[in-house]
Amino acid sequence: MVNGMRNGVIAIHRDGLLALMNDEAYRIFSLRPQPDDLGRPFSEVFCDRPEVARVLACAFELTTLPNRAELRLRDLNRVIGYTLSQVRDDDGGPVGAMLFFKDLTLVEQQEERERLRDRLASLGEMAAGIAHELKNPLAGIEVNAGLLRRQLPDSPAAQALVGDIISEAKLANAIVVEMLEFVRPIRLQLERTALDIVLREAVLMAESSTPRGDVSVTMEIQADLPMVDGDDQQLSQVFVNLMTNAFEALDGKGRIVVRATAEALESDPGFTSETPTPTQVVVIEVCDNGPGVAADLNDRIFDPFFTTKPKGSGLGLPIVRKIVDAHDGRIDLVCVAGQGTTFRVTLPVSSSATWFK
Ligand SMILES: Nc1ncnc2c1ncn2[C@@H]1O[C@H](COP(=O)(O)OP(=O)(O)OP(=O)(O)O)[C@@H](O)[C@H]1O
Ligand SMILES: [Mg+2]
């Protein structure tokens, strides 16, 4: 019964030997069951998961044991919610402890996504408001400078200055237009789309604007990759932006791998009462072996106008996210310290989205 449970269960004896560990626990902690696990000290079984060993070690030391606490497993990029309790004998003496837990990674990612979406929505609204307000005064400056120029036919120096005013006003207007473009709702033209073609074209397009230098690009695309219902132009924009970022991060030397595979995504069983049906998805990863994204910036790189580049506008990734969201997909940054950057885009094989506000 415990083995079939959708929660992870681990029990230890008072002397620190493992008494029980169910299949879900092995899965969540990515450990391979060994025949002699039961009866071994838990510190040995969890030597590769020191966070778990630390929690279990507290079982007989703390007066109040953690209830519904969270534990972040950094190596596995997972979050679990757990309750630790003691098992007592008839006289109330502790004879062991139980760790009862659940994989909260999907819930956590969903919440994170919603938070980002909210943030993007409010920033977008603000940007649209400012852009709109700026359009009229900018047009006024441009028109009046034009009129002024006509009144100064005899002064070339003044003409040049007014000319500068006009071109700067035009530039500011172009930024405003780009900003409005970004906050405008996306309308998707959905078609059955072959992602391998989109990906190959995106590499060429990214290369045409950002010099590749000595960067090698390897495509690892599964042969029978299913088609997705997508807007090929918009999806191409997604991968062009990701690859442009990778080229920029590598700065002429390094390696990019573009991987595309079909996967079945399990919905979280704990949150649906019916038998979960896996969703068919295509997972596309754009990996580079560049400097990576600093951990404290992970949350910010999807914010509009966030950039670390002198000439960046910081709209590349927010646009990527907006398009991926419109396809009912998701994008994740997978960053392992010192191993470059991977952006993972997950797209449903069949999407219900036709419009995105
Ligand atoms: N592959 C990557 N490697 C390292 N850092 C990256 C990578 N991709 C994105 N970033 C970081 O995320 C930031 C935001 O990226 P984003 O594409 O949104 O804007 P940008 O590239 O700076 O400007 P723009 O794309 O508008 O020209 C970048 O400035 C960079 O710091
Ligand atoms: Mg960019």
**What's the gap in Å between 317 CA and the centre of ligand 1?**
7
CA 258 to CA 344: how far, in whole Å? Answer: 10
Q: What angle do CA 108, 113, 119 make, to 5 degrees?
A: 130
Q: What is the pLDDT of residue 275?
A: 58
Please say if the pLDDT value at position 284 is more than 70: yes
Which atom of ligand 1 is closest in space to residue 343's alpha carbon? Answer: 1
Q: Which of 205, 248, 343 maximizes ligand 1 atoms within 8 Å of its Cβ, making it the mutation to test the pocket?
A: 248
CA atoms within 13 A on the CB side of 25: 21
Chain-centre distance of CA 328, in angstroms? 14
3-class DSSP assignment, residue 90: coil
Section 13-31 average pLDDT: 94
Q: What is the pLDDT of residue 263?
A: 92
**Cβ–Cβ contacts within 10 Å for residue 279, how many?**
15
Please say if the pLDDT value at position 355 is more than 70: no
| Among protein residues, the one whose CA lies closest to atom 9 of ligand 1 | 245
Q: Is the CB of 270 under 6 A from ligand 1?
A: no
**What's the gap in Å between 315 CA and the centre of ligand 1?**
9
Q: Residue 28 belongs to what H/E stretch?
A: helix 23-28
Q: Is the CB of 313 under 6 A from ligand 1?
A: yes
Q: What is the pLDDT of residues 214-268, one digit of tens each?
A: 999 999 999 999 999 999 999 999 999 999 999 999 999 999 999 999 998 776 5
Point out the ligand nearest to the CA of residue 246. 1
Q: DSSP secondary structure string, 151-213?
A: H-TT-HHHHHHHHHHHHHHHHHHHHHHHHHHHHSPPB---EEE-HHHHHHHHHHHHHHHS--T
Section 305-319 average pLDDT: 85
**What's the gap in Å between 241 CA and the centre of ligand 1?**
9
Q: Are 260 and 225 in contact (CB under 8 A)?
A: yes
Spell out the domains of the chain, with CATH numbers in brackets: 8-103 (3.30.450.20), 108-183 (1.10.287), 191-348 (3.30.565.10)
**DSSP state, 252?**
T
Please say if the pLDDT value at position 316 is more than 50: yes
| Among protein residues, the one whose CA lies closest to atom 12 of ligand 1 | 301
Point out the ligand nearest to the CA of residue 307. 1
Q: Is the CB of 307 under 6 A from ligand 1?
A: yes
Q: Is the CB of 305 under 6 A from ligand 1?
A: no
Nearest to residue 238, comparing CAs of 308, 300, 330?
330
| Among protein residues, the one whose CA lies closest to atom 29 of ligand 1 | 307
**What's the gap in Å between 240 CA and the centre of ligand 2?**
9
* pLDDT confidence band for 356 (50 / 70 / 90): very low
Average pLDDT of the residues of the chain: 87
CA 78 to CA 111: how far, in whole Å? Answer: 14
Using the structure block, give the residue that is written with the tokens 């998805």: 281
3-class DSSP assignment, residue 338: coil
Q: What is the pLDDT of residue 160?
A: 93
**DSSP state, 328?**
T
